[in-house]
Amino acid sequence: MPLLPILILVLFSTQVFADTPSYTTPHIMAMGVKHHSINDAKIAGSALKLRMAHTRFHLPIGKYDALGQIFVPQVAIEQTTFDIPNPNFERKDMYTIKLPMMFIEKYDDNWTRILNLTPSWHTDLKAKDEQSYSLMGLILWRYKDDSPHSYTLGVGVNRLFGEYKPVPMGAYSYQASPQTRYDVGFPVTKIEHRTHFNWSVFSSIAPQGGNWRYESAEQRRVNLSYSSWIATVGVRRNLVDKFWFTLEAGRTFARELDLNNDTSASQKVDIADANIVMLSIGLHP
């Protein structure tokens, strides 16, 4: 069951490490490299199996004051590989190139607004028509007072669930102690506990997907959409300052793959659940 790792970590963090010192949990990775690989899994209605891999590089390129806001331009490059071990199918390497532009405005001591605009290109590097480009974005409002509770609410427009569409976002965060944090919401839920100055353990559940434009062997333009959920448990090791090495393992489930070109109907298929392993090295401020 996908929620089992999270339930285990709740008991683990609140009981076993109740008396650990007051160093803080690492935040979401702001800069670095992340890779994950997914085992072979059967494609419904056939004898074929799909193997996947994904690598992401993310780099902020500055922090500036602009019109009373903090402006953080970034660059992100991703490669997603779809591999069907069969001589009749060729491996597909899909790329996503993004230029996120984040604007952070602090209204007062409690309220902060985050606006992120992201021009992006989703392609096999051959298909370069208008359907391979998109403008993604999100807007979030965050409330935080002197208590350990904080709240986030907003909406994003992205390809997180395969198709390009709006996605509601919200979370309740509870800093139970400096070393234990709960983030419960949609689309991401995570629990993390820093067990030692150099170590942190966590569990999370989140969606993972995308949409790409590629050129087939017949020189037709095809849209490929993929959506799934991922539930993992993980451990982080502090390397230096706020740089961490992270290892995660878990399951990916509720997986769908959809292929369609400009003249044919959608060909949506289910993909069986599979094991996933994730590695990353990066800055967690």
pTM for this prediction: 0.88
28 within 8 A of 246, measured Cβ to Cβ: no
Dist. CA 239–CA 89, nearest whole Å: 41
Residue 265 is predicted with a pLDDT of: 64
Concatenate the DSSP letters of all residues of 179-193 into one string.
Answer: TEEEEEEES-EEEEE
Residue 19 is predicted with a pLDDT of: 44
- Please give the structure tokens belonging to residue 50: 């799909």
Residue 13 is predicted with a pLDDT of: 41
Residue 88 is predicted with a pLDDT of: 66
Residue 11 is predicted with a pLDDT of: 39
Residue 124 is predicted with a pLDDT of: 93
Residue 14 is predicted with a pLDDT of: 41
| DSSP strand pairing (199-215 vs 189-196) | antiparallel
Q: Which long-range contacts (CB under 8 A, 24 or more apart) does 151-154 make?
A: 152/185, 154/114
- pLDDT tens track, the chain, 285 positions: 444 444 444 434 444 434 444 578 999 999 999 999 999 999 998 889 999 999 999 999 999 998 889 999 999 999 999 998 776 677 899 999 999 999 999 999 999 999 999 999 999 998 888 889 999 999 999 999 999 999 999 999 999 998 889 999 999 999 999 999 999 999 999 999 999 889 999 999 999 999 999 887 777 888 999 999 999 999 999 999 999 999 999 999 999 999 887 666 678 899 999 999 999 999 998
65 within 8 A of 45, measured Cβ to Cβ: no
230 within 8 A of 205, measured Cβ to Cβ: yes
Residue 129 is predicted with a pLDDT of: 87
Kindly give, in sequence order, each residue whose CB lies less than 8 Å from that of residue 223, ignoring residues fewer than 6 positions away: 131, 211, 212, 213, 258, 259, 260, 261
| All structural domains of the chain with their residue ranges | 4-283
131 within 8 A of 223, measured Cβ to Cβ: yes
Paired with 145 in beta bridges are none
Residue 218 is predicted with a pLDDT of: 74
